[in-house]
């Protein structure tokens, strides 16, 4: 018996030893093959099992396999899967994953993508995977709402009407680039997100560079840069079909197909989707058809061509007019109330709507001149067509007294267009007294962006480039509905006075705004061991010209103005130092002068009140940052201060002859400063926590006193004082917090929870409205917090890899005010507001093949 016991003990020892020796310890670091940055969250799995780990924030991993001789599978969404055969303990060193998109590396170069622990800017990056998980029925900018410094809302609530502020700066001071190509309006700098409906379907990544940013486009924005990188073409053949439904009739379906990279170097990807719905807000029905195509071709070993075209044709009803809080409470629709729509002959008719189609086409050429020189060039064009609705003539669209109006159905009811039609019909030969019209803003835009990178030494890279743009904005009012009348009389056209007009004719105004832009930039980058630094300079010339076809006779030389040119320039520098594998610090500093918009030159909206010496806006910015990277935790802290001087401010006044005129007011300055924190914590292999805090202090810097306004004869008309010193800048929450959790309930099932909190949101006001001493702060909107919930589940179904997605936004149906304009007295009872959306939901399925 003793021998048997000894034998069994020996066998047990041998078995344990065999098991121990059958395991192997595998380690390594996974990096992006395009820009050589670590990839966190990459899945490392022993083939044929569920046994594995994910990389930490530096791309590192280490785990024990179940077998000595085995195969590990390395996979990450957006990258090609890699399998590696293992025999015994192995340190794999650096493992490079190549993007599954052909040509993405070249696009990222021309788009100036910031690199973690190298580029000295405050940056947040959202990949396509996260975009699809977070989007639901939200507006595209709302995906960024958990990013430090960002305030994003649905604004009026119409499809594509969302807006975004960055560090307290409005959209005209936030640069938006798609594949490195600027899309801000060339005349006023604004971004209209409805023009880009469907862009979320084909976005590879979206990067927010706060402050000066890394963009090499000549003369940067003030608040920061939103850098959107679209899909290119997939290396492997495949595609997807998807559909989703949501609240208030939301329905979307789309498809994508890619040929994969063929043996002849050719690859193509096409995508299209259609979206329809009734809208959360009353009278905001919408429909949109979006499309995307990318064709790439390798030409020899050193050249690559890529053609991209995308756009969306859309139309949607709008809520253009904010209302008093008391109005929403008195209406049957509550926070959904919208005064800008009604019924005509039983059909929904919009007093305010938006329709637009803005295809963007680009041809990119990437040339590897030598091992030390690369040239990336993008030639692009954009053609916009559409506008926004409204009315002209007698205003019959008011809310009346206490919500009762002869032209509305019931208390605060929709517009009774049938009554307006009856009245216009009764006027007969007198024509319509009230019509619907559209303010058109068509445009033609052509540009060239070219960047040359030269590696001077192993540590020094010189970059230079050219930024050329030419733009023609075509502005007119189109008569869209006579509302029962026979014609509409309008005397606005000097070349055809007292004319009568039909649907489709131009009325009220017709003018062109021409903009020419030339920019040059240069940058020197140094990188050695733990230190990376850069210094860059740029200059630009913006030329404006105006042609007015209505206010001036065709024979009048004033119908077309001369060109007026404005110079701008920029200089900035920064450095990042990696103290060790866990800690890094960075700093950047910059100064630039930016030409005012088109209206700063043509301040009277005519060809005579011209300001040829419009003052440049002057911006000085400095920022310091600290980063921490470890196996479980990644965190960033940034401190910034931006001084904005001579903000473009216009003041309207009456001249002695009774006409209105406009003057520029100089000396309107603001200080935007704050602290930002963001972190990601991988609590377990299944639980990932995210969070951020953004504490801003954005104030007007000084009073402006004794500004003298003169008429055309240089007679003193008025002396203007603006009492704005230390008043808070309105229109964006200065204090924001966010917490999020992603929990893998099962191997392919993930639960997502997000909480966002907003405080210190002050109603928007124009500094020119503070002409009385002691007027004080604008109304402070009540703080609010919102919970969002999402669930994703993946499974295989025949040849398809299927993903199911469900999302609920504002889970607890919180009632809150997202946007406000200051009213008389700066109180809740006088402010004009938009309520944010209540609880909304969407569910969808995507079939990948």
**Contacts from 130-133 at CB under 8 Å and sequence distance 24+?**
131/200, 131/203, 131/206, 132/200, 132/805, 132/846, 133/750, 133/752, 133/790, 133/792, 133/805, 133/807
Contact 690, 743 (CB under 8 A): no
Give 674's strand partners. Answer: 640, 696
Say what the pLDDT of residue 67 is: 82
What Å distances lie between residue 664 and 270, 377, 655, 738, CA to CA?
Answer: 48, 38, 15, 40
Say how far apart CA 633 and CA 57 lie, in whole Å. 7
3-class DSSP state of 13: helix
Say what the pLDDT of residue 220 is: 66
Say how far apart CA 582 and CA 102 lie, in whole Å. 33
Class of residue 270 by CB neighbours under 10 A (exposed 0-12, middle 13-18, buried 19+):
middle
Task: Count CA atoms within 13 Å of residue 132 on its CB side.
Answer: 20
**Sign of the CA dihedral running 776, 402, 354, 493:** negative
In sequence order, what are the residues at sequence separation of 6 or more whose Cβ sits closer than 8 angstroms to the Cβ of residue 777?
727, 728, 762, 826
Say how far apart CA 646 and CA 665 lie, in whole Å. 8
pLDDT tens digits along 467-504: 999 999 999 999 999 999 999 999 999 999 989 999 99
With cut-offs at 50, 70 and 90, classify the pLDDT of residue 59. confident
pLDDT at 7 over 50: no
Q: Please report, in angstroms and rounded to a whole number, the separation of the first and last CA atoms in the chain.
A: 63
Specify the pairing of strand 583-594 against strand 564-578.
Answer: antiparallel
What Å distances lie between residue 326 and 282, 334, 414, 582, 825, CA to CA?
Answer: 17, 10, 17, 54, 16
CA dihedral 162, 165, 170, 173 (to 10 degrees): -110
Say what the pLDDT of residue 116 is: 81
DSSP alpha helices (H): ranges in 686-800? none
Say how far apart CA 800 and CA 711 lie, in whole Å. 72
Contact 145, 134 (CB under 8 A): no
pLDDT at 320 over 90: yes
DSSP alpha helices (H): ranges in 752-824? none
Say what the pLDDT of residue 19 is: 43
Average pLDDT over residues 155-181: 92
For all residues of the chain together, what is the average pLDDT?
Answer: 90
Say how far apart CA 323 and CA 335 lie, in whole Å. 10
Residue 635 C-alpha from the chain's centroid: 24
In sequence order, what are the residues at sequence separation of 6 or more whose Cβ sits closer than 8 angstroms to the Cβ of residue 16?
none
pLDDT tens digits along 344-382: 999 999 999 999 999 999 999 999 999 999 999 999 999
Say how far apart CA 34 and CA 38 lie, in whole Å. 11
Contact 570, 618 (CB under 8 A): no
HEC per residue, 65-118: CCCCEEEEEEECCCECCEEEEEECCEEEEEEEECECEECHHHHHHHCCCCCCCC
Q: Which two tokens stand for residue 129?
A: 């995977």
**pLDDT above 70 coverage of the chain, percent:** 93
pLDDT at 104 over 80: no
Residue 237's φ and ψ, nearest 5 degrees, are: -65, 145
From 622, 571, 736, 676, select the one nearest 219 (Cα to Cα).
Answer: 571
Say what the pLDDT of residue 14 is: 40
Say how far apart CA 320 and CA 351 lie, in whole Å. 10
pLDDT at 34 over 80: no
Say what the pLDDT of residue 438 is: 97
Say what the pLDDT of residue 53 is: 83
Residue with the larger pLDDT of the pair 662 and 224: 224
pLDDT tens digits along 678-697: 999 999 888 999 999 999 99
Q: Which residues of 723-770 form beta strands (DSSP E)?
A: 733-746, 749-762
Place of tokens 């007009």: 501
pLDDT tens digits along 499-551: 999 999 999 999 999 999 999 999 999 999 999 999 999 999 999 999 999 99
3-class DSSP state of 160: coil
In sequence order, what are the residues at sequence separation of 6 or more whose Cβ sits closer than 8 angstroms to the Cβ of residue 598?
187, 188, 473, 513, 515, 544, 546
Q: Which two tokens stand for residue 389?
A: 């609705």
Average pLDDT over residues 390-411: 94
pLDDT at 676 over 90: yes
For the ranges 51-55, 90-94, 365-369, the lowest mean pLDDT is seen at 51-55
pLDDT tens digits along 204-242: 889 999 998 877 666 668 899 998 888 877 778 889 999
pLDDT tens digits along 267-293: 999 999 999 999 999 999 999 999 999
Say how far apart CA 813 and CA 247 lie, in whole Å. 13
Average pLDDT over residues 619-648: 94
From 558, 386, 556, 359, select the one nearest 473 (Cα to Cα).
Answer: 386
Give 154's strand partners. Answer: none
Average pLDDT over residues 802-831: 93
Say what the pLDDT of residue 8 is: 46
Residue 64 C-alpha from the chain's centroid: 43
Residue with the larger pLDDT of the pair 611 and 733: 733
Say how far apart CA 633 and CA 433 lie, in whole Å. 66
Say what the pLDDT of residue 25 is: 86
Residue 430's φ and ψ, nearest 5 degrees, are: -80, -15
From 256, 454, 475, 477, select the one nearest 367 (Cα to Cα).
Answer: 454
Say how far apart CA 595 and CA 516 lie, in whole Å. 13
Say how far apart CA 535 and CA 82 lie, in whole Å. 38
Contact 584, 627 (CB under 8 A): yes
In sequence order, what are the residues at sequence separation of 6 or more whose Cβ sits closer than 8 angstroms to the Cβ of residue 177?
111, 183, 215, 217, 225, 226, 227, 228
Q: What is the pTM of this model?
A: 0.88
**pLDDT above 90 coverage of the chain, percent:** 66
Say what the pLDDT of residue 659 is: 66
- Neighbouring CB atoms inside 10 A of 320's CB total 20
Give 85's strand partners. Answer: 71
Say how far apart CA 66 and CA 90 lie, in whole Å. 14
Class of residue 23 by CB neighbours under 10 A (exposed 0-12, middle 13-18, buried 19+):
middle
Specify the pairing of strand 488-490 against strand 82-87.
Answer: unpaired
CA angle at 469 for the pair 522 and 571, rounded to the nearest 5°? 25
Say what the pLDDT of residue 545 is: 97
Place of tokens 């004033």: 558
Say how far apart CA 413 and CA 411 lie, in whole Å. 5
Say what the pLDDT of residue 219 is: 62
Q: What is the DSSP string of 803-845?
A: EEEEEEESTT----EEEEE--TTSSTTT-EEEEPP--EEEEEE
Based on its alpha-carbon atoms, the radius of gyration of the chain, rounded to whole angstroms, reads 30
3-class DSSP state of 140: helix
Average pLDDT over residues 775-800: 94
Place of tokens 């005579």: 608
Q: Which two tokens stand for residue 203?
A: 């976005």
From 172, 713, 177, select the one nearest 451 (Cα to Cα).
Answer: 177
Residue with the larger pLDDT of the pair 603 and 326: 326
Say how far apart CA 761 and CA 818 lie, in whole Å. 9
pLDDT at 570 over 80: yes
From 825, 764, 637, select the one nearest 153 (Cα to Cα).
Answer: 764
Say how far apart CA 711 and CA 609 lie, in whole Å. 10
pLDDT at 18 over 50: no
In sequence order, what are the residues at sequence separation of 6 or more whose Cβ sits closer than 8 angstroms to the Cβ of residue 781?
761, 762, 763, 817, 820, 831, 833
pLDDT at 81 over 60: yes
């Amino acid at each position: 018996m003793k021998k048997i016991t000894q034998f069994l003990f020996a066998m047990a020892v041998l078995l344990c030893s065999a098991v121990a020796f059958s395991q192997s310890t595998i380690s390594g670091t996974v990096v992006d093959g395009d820009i050589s940055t670590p990839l966190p969250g990459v899945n490392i799995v022993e083939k044929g099992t569920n046994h594995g780990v994910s990389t930490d924030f530096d791309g590192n991993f280490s785990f024990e396999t179940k077998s000595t001789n085995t195969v590990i599978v390395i996979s990450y969404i957006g990258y090609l899967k890699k399998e590696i055969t293992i025999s015994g303990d192995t340190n794999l060193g650096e493992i490079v994953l190549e993007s599954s998109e052909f040509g993405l590396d070249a696009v990222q170069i021309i788009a100036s993508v910031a690199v973690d622990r190298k580029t000295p800017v405050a940056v947040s990056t959202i990949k396509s995977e996260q975009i699809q998980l977070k989007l639901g029925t939200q507006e595209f900018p709302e995906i960024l709402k958990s990013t430090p410094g960002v305030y994003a809302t649905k604004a009026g609530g119409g499809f594509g009407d969302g807006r975004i502020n960055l560090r307290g700066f409005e959209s005209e001071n936030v640069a938006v680039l798609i594949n490195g190509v600027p899309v801000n309006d060339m005349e006023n700098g604004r971004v209209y997100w409805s023009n880009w409906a469907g862009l979320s379907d084909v976005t590879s990544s979206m990067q927010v560079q706060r402050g000066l940013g890394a963009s090499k486009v000549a003369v940067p924005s003030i608040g920061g840069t939103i850098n959107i990188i679209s899909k290119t073409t997939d290396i492997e053949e495949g595609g997807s079909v998807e559909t989703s439904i949501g609240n208030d009739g939301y329905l979307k379906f789309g498809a994508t197909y890619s040929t994969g990279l063929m043996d002849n170097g050719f690859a193509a990807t096409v995508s299209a989707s259609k979206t329809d719905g009734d809208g959360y807000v009353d009278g905001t029905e919408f429909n949109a058809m979006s499309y995307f195509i990318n064709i790439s071709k390798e030409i020899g070993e050193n050249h690559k061509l890529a053609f991209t075209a995308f756009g969306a044709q859309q139309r949607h009803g709008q809520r253009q007019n904010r209302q008093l809080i008391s109005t929403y409470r008195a209406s049957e629709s509550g926070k959904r109330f919208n005064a800008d729509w009604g019924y005509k002959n039983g059909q929904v008719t919009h007093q305010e709507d938006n329709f637009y189609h803005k295809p963007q086409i680009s041809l990119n050429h990437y040339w590897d001149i030598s091992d030390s020189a690369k040239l990336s060039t993008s030639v692009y064009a954009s053609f916009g067509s559409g506008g926004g609705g409204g009315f002209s003539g007698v205003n019959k669209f008011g809310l009346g007294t206490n919500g009762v109006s002869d032209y509305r159905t019931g208390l605060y009811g929709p517009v009774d267009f049938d009554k307006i039609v009856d009245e216009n019909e009764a006027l007969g030969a007198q024509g319509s007294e009230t019509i619907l019209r559209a303010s058109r803003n068509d445009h033609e835009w052509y540009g060239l962006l070219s960047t040359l990178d030269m590696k001077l030494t192993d540590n020094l890279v010189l970059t230079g480039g050219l930024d050329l743009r030419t733009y023609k904005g075509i502005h007119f009012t189109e008569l869209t509905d006579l509302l029962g009348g026979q014609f509409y009389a309008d005397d606005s056209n000097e070349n055809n006075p007292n004319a009568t007009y039909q649907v489709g004719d131009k009325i009220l105004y017709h003018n062109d705004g021409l903009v020419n832009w030339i920019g040059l930039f240069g940058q020197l980058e140094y990188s050695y061991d733990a230190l990376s630094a850069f210094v860059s300079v740029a200059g630009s010339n913006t030329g404006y010209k105006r042609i007015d076809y209505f206010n001036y006779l065709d024979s009048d030389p004033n119908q077309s103005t001369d060109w007026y040119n404005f110079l701008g320039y920029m200089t900035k520098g920064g450095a990042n130092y990696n103290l060790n594998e866990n800690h890094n610090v960075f700093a950047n500093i910059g100064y630039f002068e930016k030409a005012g918009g088109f209206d700063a030159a043509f301040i009277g909206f005519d060809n005579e009140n011209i300001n040829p010496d419009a003052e440049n806006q002057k911006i000085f910015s400095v920022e310091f940052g600290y980063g921490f990277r470890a196996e479980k935790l990644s965190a960033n802290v940034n401190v910034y201060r931006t001084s904005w001087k001579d903000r473009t401010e216009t003041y309207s006044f009456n001249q002695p002859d009774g006409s209105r005129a406009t003057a520029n007011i100089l000396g309107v300055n603001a200080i935007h400063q704050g602290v930002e924190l963001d972190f990601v914590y991988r609590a377990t292999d299944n639980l990932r926590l995210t969070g951020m805090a953004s504490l801003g202090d954005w104030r007007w810097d000084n009073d402006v006193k004794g500004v003298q306004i003169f008429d055309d004869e240089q007679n003193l008309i008025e002396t203007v004082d603006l009492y704005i010193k230390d008043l808070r800048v309105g229109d964006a929450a200065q204090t924001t917090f966010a917490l999020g959790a992603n929990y893998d309930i099962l191997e392919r099932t993930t639960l997502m929870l997000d909480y966002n909190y907003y405080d210190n949101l002050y109603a928007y006001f124009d500094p020119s409205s503070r002409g009385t001493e002691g007027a004080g702060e604008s109304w402070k909107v009540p703080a609010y917090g919102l919970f969002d919930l999402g669930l994703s589940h993946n499974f295989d179904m025949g040849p398809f890899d299927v993903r199911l997605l469900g999302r609920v936004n504002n889970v607890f149906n919180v009632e809150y005010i997202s946007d406000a304009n200051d009213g008389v007295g700066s109180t809740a009872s006088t402010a004009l507001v938009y309520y944010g959306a209540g609880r909304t939901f969407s569910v969808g399925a995507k079939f990948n093949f």
